[in-house]
Amino acid sequence: MAREFARLIKIGSDPLRAVAAAILWSHDRLEFGTTHAYPAAAGWLALYARRNEPEARLISLVEAVGHMAWDVLREPVRPFTSEERPFDPAAFLGAVEAEDEVAAVALLRGALAQGLRFADLERVLTAAALRHYADFGHSLIYVVHTGRLIERLGPEVEAPLLLALTRSLVYAYREDRIPEFRRYAAVLADWPPGDWGEADEGDSEAARPKPADFFGRSINEAMRTALEHAAAGAAPEALFRALIGANALNLLRYDTRYQERTDGPVADNVGWLSFTHGITFANAVREQCRKHPEFWPQGLLQMACFAGRNAGYTDPEVALEAWRVEDLAAFDAACLDRIFDHGERDYIFSAHLLKTYLAAREEVEAGLPPEIETVLMAAVNRYFRSPLKHKHTRRTAHQALRFVALED
């Protein structure tokens, strides 16, 4: 792949055409739709556009296409229906909710036939992604990065990417239906009505939420705290800052003993990636909810789910000062050096390094209070400089034996 891209560059061809071709080739081989490969490609192409060094640009291209190729290795084509139905947003949301791929895809094809494009469909796609705490936040992340890839590569990839995204929305896990998050729907139903795009900061203490209000709270406590702040008049942006701060504190203080432990229950199989999702999801919430403010309640409450879920796996002994970033420019350079020479065998790990760094930097550039920016950068610093355990052979054996012992 590297040599072929190098040849395309040498003869003056646009190598992004090859990335687009890889999307066209791969999109209908993904059994459950969009994977991390397409969002990662959006990140790699963002770096490709920013860097002038030949090696860095070639790395960006090869990593993007390599991840796609890996995710569909030896996978057959799984055709999408060719049926078209007149597009109706409510019908599309109903088809996704019913996990009816044929109907959802037929409605999407009808939308494209009517001349609708991603920008026209973004609101309904966001609604579908946030209707549940879907796929541990991946659904909303995939919506954001699908739009970015289409913007980067043009209309040629629009239909393939939207087809893959629709399939992923249909089959996404609905995490709010498992016991951990079973209170989500009830709390959301109690969320105060109002114009969430125009809410004031408020004068009461409850209307000025802080990261400490959420740090260390259980899932139910974190959701209830978010609801109380909303009811007291907290602005969505104020709640967002507090919740991204809490998720940054979780990332900073992840207790790495959980990735080393071999005798714990399946529920405690928590690693670095569980914590990075709190940041990448927050990044997607800010972007989509600023465009479509009616989705702030779902986005904020799901951020609270992340904060509460990860709170029990933190180590209060991890000190901010040990990981504080003093020189942001030098830190950026070090992170990019790690990303461009990551040494990770599996694409899932390099994709999370890339996406977490880019999401954190976007949040800093979008504007965070200095104290939250400090924690977020320290958290990314610790994540980048800490070892990740990739395979858990003894833990898997231990848990398998315990599970089977419970069977009749």
Average pLDDT rounded to a whole number, residues 111-124: 98
Out of 127, 156, 177, a domain closes at: 177
The torsion defined by the Cα of 31, 34, 36 and 42, in degrees rounded to 10, comes to 150
pLDDT at 194: 75
Indicate if the pLDDT at residue 147 is higher than 90.
yes
Say what the pLDDT of residue 199 is.
45
In this prediction, residue 401 carries a pLDDT of 96
Orientation angle between helical segments 16-26 and 2-10, nearest 10 degrees? 140
pLDDT score recorded for residue 367: 96
Do 374 and 231 share a structural domain? yes
In the listed set 177, 202, 219, which residue is the last one of a domain according to the structure? 177
Does 129 reside within a domain? yes
CA distance 260 to 93: 42
Give the range of the structural domain holding residue 351, as residue numbers without chain letter.
180-393
Query: Are 170 and 204 part of one and the same domain?
Result: no
Q: Is residue 25 part of a domain?
A: yes
Query: Which whole number is the average pLDDT over 74-100?
Result: 98
pLDDT digits (tens, 9 = 90+) for 250-308: 999 999 999 999 999 999 999 999 999 999 999 999 999 999 999 999 999 999 999 99
What's the rounded mean pLDDT across residues 7-33? 98
Assess whether 97 and 145 both reside in one domain: yes
399 domain-assigned: no
Report residue 53 CA to chain centroid gap: 28
Q: Cβ neighbours of residue 39 under 8 Å, at least 6 residues apart?
A: 141, 142, 144, 145, 146, 351, 355
Contact between 153 and 48 under an 8 Å Cβ cutoff? The reply is no
Q: Take residue 13 and report the two structure tokens written for it.
A: 């061809």
Same-domain pairing of 256 and 162: no
In a domain? residue 405? no
Instruction: Tell whether 62 and 140 lie within a shared domain.
Output: yes
Q: Quick one: pLDDT at residue 408?
A: 81
Domain for residue 401, yes or no? no
The domain tally of the chain equals 2
Same domain, 135 and 244: no
Question: Helix, strand, or coil here: 83?
Answer: coil
Regarding whether 283 and 217 lie in a shared domain, the answer is yes
Q: Are residues 346 and 234 in the same domain?
A: yes
Which tokens is 378 given? 């320290």
* Domain end among 148, 177, 206: 177
DSSP H helix total and E strand total for the chain? 19, 0
> At 121, is the secondary structure helix, strand, or coil?
helix
Tell me, yes or no, whether 320 lies in a domain.
Answer: yes
Residues 147 and 207 in one domain: no
Calpha distance 299→226 (Å, rounded): 11
Give the pLDDT band of residue 12 (cuts 50, 70, 90).
Answer: very high
Task: Check residue 231 and give its pLDDT.
Answer: 95
Averaged pLDDT score across all residues of the chain: 96
Q: Are residues 187 and 206 in the same domain?
A: yes
For the stretch 309-336, pLDDT in tens is: 999 999 999 999 999 999 999 999 999 9
Q: Are 355 and 43 in contact (CB under 8 A)?
A: yes
In a domain, 407, yes or no: no
Instruction: Identify whether 317 is part of a domain.
Output: yes
pLDDT recorded at residue 80: 98
The per-residue pLDDT for range 160-215, each reduced to its tens digit, is: 999 999 999 999 999 999 999 999 999 999 999 976 654 445 556 667 899 999 99
Same domain, 131 and 44: yes
- CA 335 to chain CA mean position, Å: 19
Is residue 198 exposed (0-12), middle (13-18) or buried (19+ Cβ within 10 Å)?
exposed
Residue 300 · residue 228 · CB < 8 Å = no
Per the structure block, which two tokens stand in for 181? 């998050």
Give yes or no for a contact between 25 and 75, defined as CB atoms under 8 angstroms apart.
no
Distance (Å) of CA 152 to CA 8, 69, 146, 355:
19, 20, 10, 17
For residues 222 and 276, membership in a common domain is answered with yes
